[in-house]
Amino acid sequence: MTLLEGSVGVEDLVLLEPLEQGPLLKNLQLRYEHKEIYTYIGNVLISVNPYQQLPIYGPEFIAKYQDYTFYELEPHIYALANVAYQSLRDRDRDQCILITGESGAGKTEASKLVMSYVAAVCGKGEQVNSVKEQLLQSNPVLEAFGNAKTIRNNNSSRFGKYMDIEFDFKGFPLGGVITNYLLEKSRVVKQLEGERNFHIFYQLLAGAEADLLKALKLERETRCYVYLNRKVSTVDGMDDASNFKAVQSAMAVIGFSEEEIQQVLEVTALVLKLGNVELAGEFQANGISASGICDGRGIQEIEEMMGLNSEELEKALCSRTMKTAKENVVTALNVIQAQYARDALAKNIYSRLFNWIVNRINESIKVGTGEKKKVMGVLDIYGFEILEDNSFEQFVINYCNEKLQQVFIQMTLKEEQEEYEREGIPWTKVDYFDNGVICNLIEHNQRGILAMLDEECLRPGVVNDTTFLAKLNHLFSKHTHYESKVTQNAQRQYDRTMGLSSFRICHYAGKVTYNVNGFIDKNNDLLFRDLSQVMWKARHPLLQSLFPEGDPKQASLKRPPTAGAQFKSSVAILMKNLYSKNPNYIRCIKPNEYQQRGQFSSELVAVQTRYLGLLENVRVRRAGYAYRQGYRPFLERYRLLSRSTWPCWNGGDREGVEKVVGELSLSSEELAFGKTKVFIRSPKAPMTELEFSRCPWSERTRQGDKGVCTTLAGEARLLGPPGPPFHPAALSAAVPPGGAAAPETAAAGHAHTEDLPGLALPLPLPADAEEPDRHLHLVSGQHAKETLWEDKGIGFADPGFRQRVEGNGEGRRGFLPTHGSFPHVVSPGLCQLLGRKSSRERILPTPGTSRDARARARLHVFLGLQARKNYRKYFRSGAALTLANFIYKSITRKFLLGLKDNLPSTNILDKTWPAAPYKCFHTANQELRQLFYRWKCKKFRDRLSLKQVENLREKLSASELFKDKKASYPQSVPIPFRGDYIGLQGNPKLQKLKGGAEGPVLVADTVKKVNRGNGKTSSRILLLTKRHVILTDTKKSQAKTVIGLDSVAGVSVTSFKDGLFSLHLNEISSVGSKGDFLLVSEHVIELLTKMYRAVLDATQKQLPVTVTEDFSLRFKESSVAVKVIQGPEGGRNGKLSCKKKGSRCLEVTV
C-alpha cells in the first residue's frame, strides 16, 4: 500500500506489511535503487545519502511543496521543512529540526536544504533578502573552517553547529544565533591516513591570487607544509580554488570587512607556518636536555607577518616559566616537550580563530533584544563515530550522540506512550531501549566518566592516563555497559581486541573501544602562559584579541575549566534548548562505506536502522495516533466547518470537536477522545479534508483540484434550488486529491445535476464562430454534469470569479459572458416550444438559419420571464435580512467608535472597562477587554529591563509556591529580592566563599542550622549557586558542606510566619548519606523560590515544596518526626525552641 499511485515501495513505513526488519530494509533498498531517497515514519523523515546530485531540488520543487500538506506529495525534505515553518508561522510554536546519523550520512547537506527551503518561502523584501542571504552564506564559511575530508566522508563536519533562526510574527526572518560545539582541533596538527586537514588550508593554497600568497609568505604546493597530509591534497568532485572564491564572497556578504578577511587569512597562514618550525634536541652546560629551532627562516617570516618578536617566540616554544611565591623559575623543554608546545599553540590559534569567526557571524545576524521572536533551530552535529583508534574526541562526540538519542527517545517513544496514559487512551506498551543508563555512566556529576577524568586532572600527585583507567576499572567493575581488560579478566573473558590501555562502552549504536592515551592532556587543554603572553604582544590586531589572558593586567591563577566540563555544560544547554521546542526529525542513513552512488549495503543499513530505533518508532506510530491536538485550538480552527458549531457554539470544547469530526465519517478505531485532546490515527485524509474545507478559495493556485473545487463552490451556490446554504465541507469530500471527482458527487455540496431537467451552461466556442453566435448554448443536465469535470472553462456570471479561474494554469480556454445574473433551468415545456422532444437532448442550433434566430429570441424572452418570476420572491424575502444586517452593522460601528473614545488608562492595575450597550455585544466586549489588557501588559513588559523581568519571574514563582499557603508570604510581596544579605561583594574574606562556587551566587544569607540530636542552633553562611547549596561556618572561609542541586529531593516549610524549613536529600548522594538539614532563614520565601528555580534549571525537574507542620527528617540510618507548633508570638520574632520527645520526635515551637 502506498500514499500515491505509481510510487515506489511504501512511502510511509507505518503502512509496511509485514512489520519486520527484512521488509523494512528491502523497502528502503527498492526506493533507493529508484532514486527515491526519502521515506516517512509518520512525521519522521528518513534520508538515505545518494552520493550524487538528484534533480529533485530547486525553485520548482520548493513552489510545489509549499502549496501542499505533508502527505499529499511523495516524501521530501521540503515537506518536513514546510511543516516546521508553517507550524512556527501559523501556530506560533518554536521549532527545532534534529538531523542525526553517522558521519557521511548526509547531515550537513540536509541542514543546507532545510535552510534554503525556509529562506525561499519566508517572505521577500530588501531587508528580508539581506538577512536570508547572510544566514545562507554562513554555511560556506563555517564549512571551510570547520569541515574536512575523513575516511568516511569527503565533507565531514568536525564541529557541532546549532543555528537558531529567528522570525517576526509574520514569519519573516530577523536574524539568528549560531552555537558551535568542540571543534576537532587535533586535526590541525595530525590526520589519519587518507584524510585531510580542514578545507580552508587547501582552498587558500589553491585559490589565492599570487599576490595574496606572496603577502602571506606561502607556497602553492601543499607538500611544502608539515601540517597538511601530503598523500591526500585533493578531493574528487571538490574544486578548492572556486570554493575559496566562494568563501571570500560569503564573508563579504555576511559583513566582514576587507581588513578582517585579510587578517583571518593571515592567522590561517600562521598555523601552517608554525608546523614548519623545526625543533632539534640540545644539551645545556649542566647536561640537561633542551631544545632549539633548527632554521630561523620560518620564525623570521612569522615575525614579519604577525609583528611578533622572534626571540621571545623561540624562548616561549623551548622553555617554560613557573611562578612561585618568591621568584620565576625558567625550565628548559626537551625536543618532545617543545614539539608538544608548538602543536598546542597551533591548535589553540586555529580553535580560537574559529570561535572568533562564529562570534563575528553572530554579530552580523543577531536580532535586537526588544523584538518578539519565533525561533526555528537547525542542529547539524557530528555523527556517531567508530574508528580503528578512538580517542578523547570520539568519546565526547559519541556522548553527544547518546544525548541526542535520549532526546529522540524522550520526545517520540517515551513521551508518546506516557501521553496516552495521561489522556486515558487504551494502549499496548511498546518495548524500546532507554539509553539513560549510558548517559548517566558518562555524565553523572559524582560518579560519571567525565567527573572521574576531571578529578584525575585536578588532583595532586602522580597523574596520568593509566591512573585514570585504573579508577574507571575500580568504579565500574560491575557496570553492564562498561568493559576493560581488567573487568574481562575478573569475569574470565578473553578478548584479543581489548588492549591494556583501553576501555569499552556499549553505546546505543554499538560497542566502541577507546584508547585512554592522551585523555588527560586533551581534557586539560593547557597552553603555557609564556606562549599566551607572546601572542598577546603581537602587533596583529586579530591575533592579539585571541589571547586576552596574555595581558599581564588580566592574568589569573584560576585554573580554566577542562575541555570535558565545557563540552558537558554546552550539551546540557543544547538539550534544554531542544526540549523547549517542537521537534522535527531527519534520520540520515549511509548506504555504503565507500561513498559510491547506487550501492546499498543491507548489513550496514541494518545496523543503522537498529540503533536509530526505526522499527520501534514504526511500532509506536502504528499502534498510536499520528495527530493530536487540544480541544480548544482544534475547535477554534475548524468550528466554521460545521453548522452545529458555527457561528456560535455555547457547549464544551470536547462536545464541539465531536460535532466537527463527526462529519468526517471516521471509524471508532481511527478516532479517540482523551481528557484534553482529540487523537486521529491516520491524519492524511481527514486533516487534508479539514484544511482544504477551511479555505477552499485560498490564493494558493494548485493545478487540478483547486480550479475544479473553486468552480464547484460557485456553481453549487447558483445552480441549486432553494435550500440550506452551501457548505464547503461537503464540497471538499467530493474532490479527492488530483482534482477528479466521481460524476455522482460533482454537486454534492448542494444538489445533484441529474435532478435538474435541463441546464444552461456557456461552452467554449470554436475560434471561427461569428459574433452573432456568441450566445448561450444549451446542454442537457446529464451532459452538463459530465462537462463540469472536463478540463474546460465553466461559465460564471461573476467577472471576478471568471478572472480567478482563467488564471488557474496555462492552456485553460477562455470564458464567455452569460446573459443575466443567473444560470437558467430549462423545463420540458420550453423544450417543446423550441421543437425538441426531451430536455436530455443537446440544443445546439445550426448558425445562420431564421428558425434558429427566432428560437433564440423566444428562448431569451422566456428565460428572462422565468428568471424574474422564479427569483422575485427571493429578493423580497431577503429584504428583511438585508435591513437587519445594515442595522446590526450600524450599531456595531457605533459601539466600536464609542469604545475607542472611552478606553480606560494604560495602567495595568486599572481593570475597568465600559459595559456593552447591547446584550449581543457582551461576548465581543469581553474579548476586547482581554485583548486590551494583554496589550497593556505587553507594553509594560517591553519597558522592563532584563533584570526587572527576572525579578518579576521570581516573584511569580514565589506566588505559585506560597500564596495562600504561608502566612509570611504577603509581607514578602512588596520587598524586592536582594540575594546578597551578608555583603559578599564588599567583604574580602567572604570573596573566598564565592570563588569556591560555580557560577554566580544567587543567594548569600546567614541561616541557623538546627541540630537534629539536641535541637540547638548554630549560625551558618548559606550560598546558593546555579548548581550547589554551600554551607560554611561564619568564622571560617571554608565550605563545610557542599550539596549538589541534583541531590536535593524536596523541601518542607511551615505555614506560619517563621523561617523554618527542612532540606531533604537523596539517600544515594554522598551528602545525603548523613541525613537531611533543618534550617532557619529570615528570607525563607526568597531562598526557597530561588532554590526552586535553580533546581528546575539544573535538572529540568520541579523541586517538591511541601507546606506542612508535620514532616520527617532522615538522620543517618534512622528518621526523626518533626512537629511544629505556633507560639504566642506566632513566629514573628524569629525565635524558636526545640524539645526532644523521645528518641525519634522533635517538637519545634515558633
Catalytic residues: 103-104, 108, 153, 156-157, 383, 385
Enumerate residues 6+ apart whose C-beta is below 8 A from 211: none
Q: Is 903 exposed, middle or buried (0-12, 13-18, 19+ CB in 10 A)?
A: exposed
Alpha carbon distance 196, 238 (integer Å): 13
- Nearest CA to 835 out of 859, 863, 866, 819 is that of 859
Where would I find the beta strands (DSSP E) of 1100-1144?
Answer: 1105-1107, 1110-1115, 1118-1125, 1137-1140
From the DSSP assignment, how many helices (H) and strands (E) are in the chain?
39, 33
Q: What is the DSSP letter of 665?
A: T
By three-state DSSP, how is residue 883 classified? helix
Enumerate residues 6+ apart whose C-beta is below 8 A from 22: none
The sheet with strand 1110-1115 has its strands ordered as 1110-1115, 1118-1125, 1145-1149, 1137-1140
Contact 813, 793 (CB under 8 A): yes
Q: Which helix (H) or strand (E) holds 87?
A: helix 77-91
Enumerate residues 6+ apart whose C-beta is below 8 A from 280: 291, 292, 293, 294, 335
Q: Which alpha helices (DSSP H) does 968-1126 contain, by range? A: 969-972, 988-995, 1084-1099
Alpha carbon distance 28, 25 (integer Å): 5
- Nearest CA to 1054 out of 1147, 1113, 970, 1124 is that of 1124
Alpha carbon distance 148, 157 (integer Å): 7
Q: Which helix (H) or strand (E) holds 945?
A: none
- Nearest CA to 394 out of 569, 517, 561, 226 is that of 517
What Å distances lie between residue 996 and 524, 991, 1000, 1038, 1063, CA to CA? 19, 9, 11, 9, 21
Contact 1047, 1077 (CB under 8 A): no
Beta bridge partners of 1003: 1024
Cell numbers at 609, concatenated: 536502522
Alpha carbon distance 591, 105 (integer Å): 8
Alpha carbon distance 650, 291 (integer Å): 88
Cell numbers at 346, concatenated: 597551533
DSSP readout, 551-588? SGGG---SPPPPHHHHHHHHHHHHHHHHHTSEEEEEEE
Identity of residue 605:
V
Whether residue 724 has a cis bond before it, omega within 30° of 0: no
Enumerate residues 6+ apart whose C-beta is below 8 A from 514: 390, 391, 394, 395, 502, 503, 504, 505
HEC per residue, 162-205: EEEEEECCCCCEEEEEEEEECCCHHHHCCCCCCCCCEHHHHHHH
Alpha carbon distance 590, 38 (integer Å): 13
Q: What is the DSSP letter of 36?
A: -
HEC per residue, 360-372: HHHHHHCCCCCCC
By three-state DSSP, how is residue 503 classified? strand
Contact 770, 847 (CB under 8 A): yes
